[in-house]
Amino acid sequence: MAVESEQRHKIDPLAEQAATLLAKAMMTSHDRDLLWQEFRDLVVTHTKELEEAPVREALDEMERQGLSLDVVARVVHEKLGK
C-alpha cells in the first residue's frame, strides 16, 4: 500500500526539472507574476493538446469510416446528459 502511494506521488523528471528552472528564473526575474502566468499558460496549453490528441485521432478515423461528426456529437451530448 505504501509503495502504491509513493508511486502515485512521484513527480515526472521533466516536470521536476522544469519546476527547478522556473524557480531559478523567478529568483532573478523582475516580474515574477508574469513569468509564472506565462509558464502556467504554457503548461495548460500543452496539457490540453496531450489530452485532446487521441480524441482527435479517433474522430479522424471515424470520419474516414464515413461516420458523421454531427451524429457523434449528438451521441456524446446525450451521454453527457445522463
Q: What is the mean pLDDT of each run of 10 residues along the chain (82 residues)?
A: 52 81 86 89 89 94 94 94 83
Q: What is the DSSP letter of 30?
A: S
Look at residue 1 in the predicted model and tell me its pLDDT: 46
Percent of the chain with pLDDT over 70: 87
Owning domain of residue 64? 2-81
Structural domain total, the chain: 1
Q: Give the global pTM.
A: 0.59
Say how many residues make up the chain.
Answer: 82
